[in-house]
Amino acid sequence: MSVQASGSVNQSASATATGSSVSISYENTITAGAEASVGNDNASIGVGVSVKTGTEVSAGAGLDGNNAYINASYSDTTEAHATANGKVGAGGVGVSVGVDAYVKSGTEAEGHISVGDKGVDVGASASIGTAIGVDAEGTESFREGSATAGAGVSVGEHFEAGGSASATFDHGKATVGVSGDVAALIGVEADVSVTIDTKQIQKDANTVVNAVTDPKTVHAVTDTEKKAEHAVVDTGKQAGNAIVDTGKKAGNAIVNTGKKTGNAIKKAFHL
């Protein structure tokens, strides 16, 4: 089992500019938290609690390769969270779930957009007031990708609205996702995202092709074909011999019957 606890007072401000991007950030927050977890490579479970109060502001814009992006966020909140998560999996296949129960008071706003050869990702959200809520999310992973779905509900004197959509392709992974939330005293949130790893699909396809074209596999198939051909030929020979034998026996029976009939006629007429 692993147990960790932390606390910090954060006061910072920064501004950076490069040949392709510019960003600014400001933080004046106090945070504290603790978490415990237990598990191994195939299964794990964890719980945690955290609190935060203060203000955070950030904004940035620039180019990432052939993609242009702009993002900005503002948060002035006091909030507390209790979380739990678990996962099981092996061989590239697994399931993970997470739950976040929270109390939040303050104002938040966020917006982002990214457009380029990696696809499109755009969204925005804003909230103000005090709310108590629970969010849950589950992800099913498989060798060729993953699918994630989430939902949440909140109550309180608050207003919240937002939504986002994305369709991106990055490092061989294609992702399509949508999310939305709306709240006025009672809030509902839903999120769905699917990611497909095209490189894994190609890798699996190559594995199949290599297995099919492997000399050992070809030799085994050839041997099986030869054995099948020999079996068919042997069966044909046996069937032919059986037909010939049956024909001979039938012919001999007819000849013998004819002889017996002729002898019986001779005896009857004293020939």
Average pLDDT, stretch 92-100? 90
177 and 222 assigned to the same domain? no
177 and 187 assigned to the same domain? yes
In one letter, which amino acid is 271? L
- Per the prediction, the chain carries an average pLDDT of 79
253 and 178 assigned to the same domain? no
Counting residues of the chain whose pLDDT is more than 70, the rounded percentage is 68
Block residue for tokens 């089992």 = 1
Average pLDDT, stretch 265-269? 57
Residue where a domain terminates, one of 195, 213, 231:
213
d(CA 235, CA 242): 10
Highest mean pLDDT among 9-18, 167-176, 235-244: 9-18
d(CA 187, CA 230): 74
Average pLDDT, stretch 8-29? 95
d(CA 105, CA 157): 9
Phi, psi of 245 (to 5 degrees): -60, -45
177 and 253 assigned to the same domain? no
3-class state of residue 247 by DSSP: helix
198 and 103 assigned to the same domain? yes
d(CA 58, CA 25): 4
Residue where a domain terminates, one of 163, 195, 213:
213
The count of structural domains within the chain is 2
Average pLDDT, stretch 223-240? 59
Nearest CA to 111 among 166, 186, 38, 162? Answer: 162
Residues 6+ apart with CB under 8 A from 44: 37, 38, 86, 87
3-class state of residue 18 by DSSP: coil
CA angle at 188 for the pair 85 and 86, rounded to the nearest 5°: 5
pLDDT digits 0-9 by tens, 216-228? 655 655 566 566 5
Give residue 4's pLDDT: 92
pLDDT digits 0-9 by tens, 114-138? 998 888 898 889 898 999 999 999 8
3-class state of residue 179 by DSSP: strand
Give residue 212's pLDDT: 53
163 and 36 assigned to the same domain? yes
Give residue 241's pLDDT: 64
182 and 201 assigned to the same domain? yes
Nearest CA to 141 among 90, 84, 100? Answer: 90
Residue where a domain terminates, one of 170, 186, 213:
213
191 and 240 assigned to the same domain? no
Q: Where is pLDDT greater, at 28 or 204? A: 28
Average pLDDT, stretch 237-264? 58
| pLDDT band for position 105 (cuts 50, 70, 90) | very high
Rounded alpha-carbon distances, angstroms, from residue 15 to 22, 27, 74: 8, 12, 16
182 and 63 assigned to the same domain? yes
Residues 6+ apart with CB under 8 A from 14: 23, 24, 25
68 and 201 assigned to the same domain? yes
H or E segment and range at residue 128: strand 119-142
pLDDT digits 0-9 by tens, 247-258? 566 556 555 655
Average pLDDT, stretch 39-60? 94
| pLDDT band for position 242 (cuts 50, 70, 90) | low
Phi, psi of 117 (to 5 degrees): -70, -10
Give residue 62's pLDDT: 95
Torsion, Cα 170 171 177 181, to 10 degrees, reads -70
13 and 83 assigned to the same domain? yes
Give residue 118's pLDDT: 82
Counting residues of the chain whose pLDDT is more than 90, the rounded percentage is 38
Block residue for tokens 């457009």 = 115
Tell whether the model's pLDDT for residue 69 goes beyond 90. Answer: yes
Q: Is the pTM of this model over 0.85?
A: no
Tell whether the model's pLDDT for residue 266 goes beyond 70. Answer: no
- Domain of 30, in residue numbers: 2-213
Nearest CA to 159 among 178, 184, 124, 179? Answer: 184
94 and 168 assigned to the same domain? yes
